[in-house]
Amino acid sequence: MRFLLLFNRQGRLRLQKWFIPLSNREKNKIISEMTLTVLARPPKACSFLQWRDLKIVYRRYASLFFCCGLEDQDNELLTLELLQRYVELLDQYFGNVCELDIIFNFDKAYFILDEFIMGGEIQETSRLCLARHMEEADAFQETVDEYEKNPTY
Amino acid sequence: MPAPIRLRELIRTIRTARTQAEEREMIQKECAAIRSSFREEDNTYRCRNVAKLLYMHMLGYPAHFGQLECLKLIASQKFTDKRIGYLGAMLLLDERQDVHLLMTNCIKNDLNHSTQYVQGLALCTLGCMGSSEMCRDLAGEVEKLLKTSNSYLRKKAALCAVHVIRKVPELMEMFLPATKNLLSEKNHGVLHTSVVLLTEMCERSPDMLTHFRKLVPQLVRILKNLIMSGYSPEHDVSGISDPFLQVRILRLLRILGKSDDDSSEAMNDILAQVATNTETSKNVGNAILYETVLTIMDIKSESGLRVLAINILGRFLLNNDKNIRYVALTSLLKTVQTDHNAVQRHRSTIVDCLKDLDVSIKRRAMELSFALVNGNNIRGMMKELLYFLDSCDPEFKADCASGVFLAAEKRWVLQNPTINAGSYVRDDSVPNLIQLITNSVEMHAYTVQRLYKALLDDISQQPLVQVASWCIGEYGDLLVSGQCEEEEPIQVTEDEVLDVLEGLLVSNLSAPVTRGYSLTAIMKLSTRFSSVNRIKKVVSIYGSSIDVELQQRAVEYNALFKKYDHMRPALLERMPIMEKTATNGPTEIVQTNGETESSALDSKHPPSITQPTNQANDLLDLLGGNDVPVIQTALPTKPASAGGELLDLLGDLSLSGGPTPAPAPSVPISQTPFLLDGLSSQPLFNDTAAGIPPMTAYNKNGLKIEFTFERSNPNPNISVITIHASNSTEADMTDFVFQAAVPKTFQLQLLSPSSNIVPALNQGSVTQVIRVLNPQKQQLRMRIKLTYTLKGAPVQDLAEVNNFPPQSWQ
In angstroms, rounded to a whole number, what is the distance separating the alpha carbons of residues B451 and B434?
12
pTM passes above 0.90: no
Q: Which residue of B has its CA nearest to A44?
A: B358
Instruction: Give which of B16, B49, B54, B80 to mutate to test A binding, by max A Cβ within 10 Å.
Output: B80
In SS3 terms, B576-603 reads as CCCCCCCCCCCCCCCCCCCCCCCCCCCC
A82 with B242: Cβ contact below 8 A: no
Q: Does the pLDDT at position B652 exceed 60?
A: no
Residue B583 CB neighbour total at 10 angstroms = 16
In angstroms, rounded to a whole number, what is the distance separating the alpha carbons of residues A119 and B535?
73
Count Cβ atoms within 10 A of the Cβ of residue B95 and give its class: 0-12 exposed, 13-18 middle, 19 or more buried. middle
Q: Does B298 touch chain A (CB under 8 A)?
A: no
Confidence class for position B422, pLDDT limits 50, 70, 90: very low
> Which of B277, B194, B196 has its CA nearest to residue B240?
B277
Radius of gyration of the CA atoms of chain B, in A: 38
What H or E segment, with its residue span, contains residue B795?
strand B793-801
Q: Which residue of B has its CA nearest to A57?
A: B323
Between B735 and A56, whose confidence is greater? A56
State the pLDDT at residue B344. 82
A148 with B44: Cβ contact below 8 A: yes
Angle formed at CA B184 by CA B180 and CA B190, multiple of 5 degrees: 90
Q: How far is A4 from chain B (nearest CA, A)?
A: 13
State the pLDDT at residue B774. 79
Q: Are the C-beta atoms of B647 and B663 separated by less than 8 Å?
A: yes
B192 with A122: Cβ contact below 8 A: yes
> Which of B448, B441, B393, B440 has its CA nearest to residue B419?
B448
Residue B344 CB neighbour total at 10 angstroms = 17
Confidence class for position B64, pLDDT limits 50, 70, 90: confident
Q: How far is B406 from chain A (nearest CA, A)?
A: 24
B78 with A80: Cβ contact below 8 A: no
Confidence class for position B405, pLDDT limits 50, 70, 90: low
pLDDT in tens, A133-149: 999 999 988 887 777 77
Of A28, A106, A125, the CB nearest to B244: A125
Q: Does the pLDDT at position B222 exceed 80?
A: yes
Of A44, A81, A147, the CB nearest to B80: A147
Q: Does the pLDDT at position B305 exceed 70?
A: yes
CA dihedral B220, B225, B228, B232 (to 10 degrees): -140
> Which of A19, A57, A77 has its CA nearest to residue B159?
A19
State the pLDDT at residue B579. 60
Q: Are the C-beta atoms of B561 and B536 separated by less than 8 Å?
A: yes
Average pLDDT of chain B? 77
Half-sphere exposure of B118 (CA within 13 A, CB side): 22
Q: How far is A64 from chain B (nearest CA, A)?
A: 15
Q: Which residue of A has its CA nearest to B128?
A: A119
Which chain A residues are within 8 Å of B284, Cβ to Cβ?
77, 81
Those of residues 233-272 in B touching chain A at CB distance below 8 A are 233-235, 237, 242-245, 247, 251
Q: How far is CA A84 from CA A13, A58, A65, B187, B757, in A?
A: 19, 11, 12, 22, 69
- A46-50, B458-462, B527-531, B790-794 — which one is most confidently predicted on average? A46-50
pLDDT in tens, B170-216: 999 999 998 888 888 889 999 999 999 999 999 999 999 999 999 99
Q: Are the C-beta atoms of B406 and B432 separated by less than 8 Å?
A: yes
CA dihedral B526, B514, B457, B449 (to 10 degrees): 40
Contacts 24+ apart (CB under 8 A), B166-170: B166/A119, B166/B200, B167/B130, B167/B131, B167/B132, B167/B135, B168/B132, B168/B135, B168/B136, B168/B139, B169/B204
- State which amino acid sits at residue B101: L
In angstroms, rounded to a whole number, what is the distance separating the alpha carbons of residues B308 and B651?
62
Which chain B residues are within 8 Å of A126, Cβ to Cβ?
188-189, 234-235
Contacts of B739 (CB under 8 A, 6+ apart): B611, B615, B616, B619, B631, B633, B750, B784, B785, B786, B787
Q: Are the C-beta atoms of B633 and B609 separated by less than 8 Å?
A: yes
In angstroms, rounded to a whole number, what is the distance separating the alpha carbons of residues B481 and B474?
14
Between B652 and B458, whose confidence is greater? B458
Of B76, B189, B323, the CB nearest to A152: B76
Q: Does B77 touch chain A (CB under 8 A)?
A: yes
Of B58, B60, B96, the CB nearest to A106: B58
At residue B613, φ and ψ (nearest 5 deg) are -70, -30
- State which amino acid sits at residue B204: R
Of B91, B234, B284, the CB nearest to A126: B234
First to last CA, chain A: 37
Of A50, A80, A118, the CB nearest to B323: A80
Give me the domains of chain A, ranges plus CATH numbers.
3-149 (3.30.450.60)
In angstroms, rounded to a whole number, what is the distance separating the alpha carbons of residues B505 and B492?
20
Tell me what ipTM this predicted complex has.
Answer: 0.95
- State which amino acid sits at residue B83: R
What H or E segment, with its residue span, contains residue B796?
strand B793-801
Q: Does the pLDDT at position A86 exceed 90?
A: yes
Q: Does the pLDDT at position B412 exceed 70?
A: no
Contacts of B335 (CB under 8 A, 6+ apart): B297, B310, B313, B342, B343
Number of H-type helices and E-type strands within chain B: 32, 10
Q: Does the pLDDT at position B744 exceed 80?
A: no
Angle formed at CA A152 by CA A147 and CA A153, multiple of 5 degrees: 160
Confidence class for position B286, pLDDT limits 50, 70, 90: very high
Angle formed at CA B720 by CA B716 and CA B726, multiple of 5 degrees: 160
In angstroms, rounded to a whole number, what is the distance separating the alpha carbons of residues A63 and A99?
7
State the pLDDT at residue A3. 95
Q: Are the C-beta atoms of B68 and B97 separated by less than 8 Å?
A: no
Q: Does the pLDDT at position B677 exceed 60?
A: no
**In this structure, what DSSP letter does residue B693 have?**
P
Contacts of B474 (CB under 8 A, 6+ apart): B438, B444, B448, B521, B524, B574, B575
At residue B195, φ and ψ (nearest 5 deg) are -60, -40
Q: Which residue of B has its CA nearest to A22?
A: B94
Q: Which residue of B has its CA nearest to A42?
A: B358
Q: Of B269-278, B613-622, B796-805, which gets the smallest average pLDDT?
A: B613-622
Confidence class for position B425, pLDDT limits 50, 70, 90: low
In angstroms, rounded to a whole number, what is the distance separating the alpha carbons of residues B267 and B255?
12
Q: Does the pLDDT at position B646 exceed 70?
A: no
Sign of CA dihedral A67, A73, A75, A79: negative
Q: Of B453-457, B459-463, B659-663, which gets the smallest average pLDDT?
A: B659-663
In angstroms, rounded to a whole number, what is the distance separating the alpha carbons of residues B378 and B213?
45
Contacts 24+ apart (CB under 8 A), B354-357: B354/B384, B354/B385, B354/B388, B355/B388, B356/B322, B356/B325, B357/A44
Question: What distance lies between CA B548 and its chain's CA centroid?
Answer: 35
In angstroms, rounded to a whole number, what is the distance separating the alpha carbons of residues B676 and B645?
10
Q: How far is A112 from chain B (nearest CA, A)?
A: 12
Q: Does B40 touch chain A (CB under 8 A)?
A: no
Q: Which residue of A has its CA nearest to B7?
A: A104
Q: Are the C-beta atoms of B416 and B405 separated by less than 8 Å?
A: no
Count Cβ atoms within 10 A of the Cβ of residue B365 and give its class: 0-12 exposed, 13-18 middle, 19 or more buried. buried
Which chain B residues are within 8 Å of A8, Cβ to Cβ?
none
In angstroms, rounded to a whole number, what is the distance separating the alpha carbons of residues B406 and B401?
9
pLDDT in tens, B594-623: 333 333 333 333 333 333 334 434 443 443
At residue B698, φ and ψ (nearest 5 deg) are -160, 140
A46 with B94: Cβ contact below 8 A: no
Angle formed at CA B685 by CA B684 and CA B689, multiple of 5 degrees: 160
Q: Does the pLDDT at position B261 exceed 80?
A: yes
pLDDT in tens, B709-740: 876 555 667 778 888 888 888 888 888 888 88
In angstroms, rounded to a whole number, what is the distance separating the alpha carbons of residues B546 and B398?
33
A125 with B189: Cβ contact below 8 A: yes
